[in-house]
A and B are shown apart, each in its own frame.
Chain A
């Protein structure tokens, strides 16, 4: 029996299983553990800001929607490029930021987060509860 509020996509179950025990830092471990908890248990009907564009030099933002949908976007102060809306975390992390037109560098969101060791990630900005 599943005791969570949201059943994860098979891709995300595989992602979490693959990552477990292979984290490159404590911050990476915190990211995956807290994301899994949020995605399974913490509804975000009015969205959950994971990365704010003013908290990183390349003005990338990440937003969690409902349980496990994600928006990856780029821009500043309301002037944004077309967003990438993924149905699960795996899709979001696999997004290529250069192909989306967000960065000059050829880099996935996962590698971008790992490169900055998850600096700037927020775990307390669920708009329904602030």
Chain B
């Protein structure tokens, strides 16, 4: 797992920036683990990486030891950001309380350009809850969808 500078299209990374904080698990066909960054002296302020290695989803460890955020990947590129560790408000006033997932959708093109498809966060869809819900609850049973 890593970012654009380390990403190798042929597989893996030129440098591994993250370490495992949990064993890798597969639940409901979705494989993921909790990770943290190891290579930056500025501590824990980084988010989850843009690219995955062999997992479908990564989790960030919160202050309480449970997952505080997740990113899902397709073809090793970020597609979905599931966040619940803060209250989120959209410009139209829609609010997601802390503890409830809000979703940001991303696209990463072949040149490594990262695009957020909308400024408006949205709730998880029924499909996403069915697919990703079980593994999210495995890493944090307090999360609401």
Closest to B63 in A: A80
Chain B interfacial residues counted at CB < 8 A: 29
Closest to A9 in B: B91
Contact A127 B44, beta carbon cutoff 8 Å: no
> What 1/0 mask marks residues of chain A from 90 to 130 whose CB sits below 8 Å from any chain B CB?
00000000000000000000000000000000000101111
> What 1/0 mask marks residues of chain B from 39 to 64 whose CB sits below 8 Å from any chain A CB?
01011111111100000000000010
| Complex partner residue of B47 from A45, A85, A125, CB under 8 angstroms | A45
Cα–Cα, bound, A77→B119 (Å): 32
Contact A87 B89, beta carbon cutoff 8 Å: yes
> What 1/0 mask marks residues of chain B from 1 to 28 whose CB sits below 8 Å from any chain A CB?
0011100000000000000000000000
Contact A67 B45, beta carbon cutoff 8 Å: no
Q: Which residues of B contact A125 (CB under 8 A)?
A: 42
Q: Least Cβ distance of A38 to chain B in Å?
A: 14
Contact A63 B45, beta carbon cutoff 8 Å: yes
| Complex partner residue of B119 from A6, A47, A63, CB under 8 angstroms | A6
Cα–Cα, bound, A65→B68 (Å): 15
- B: residues with CB less than 8 A from A are 3-5, 37, 40, 42-50, 63, 78, 81, 85-89, 91, 104, 106, 114-116, 119
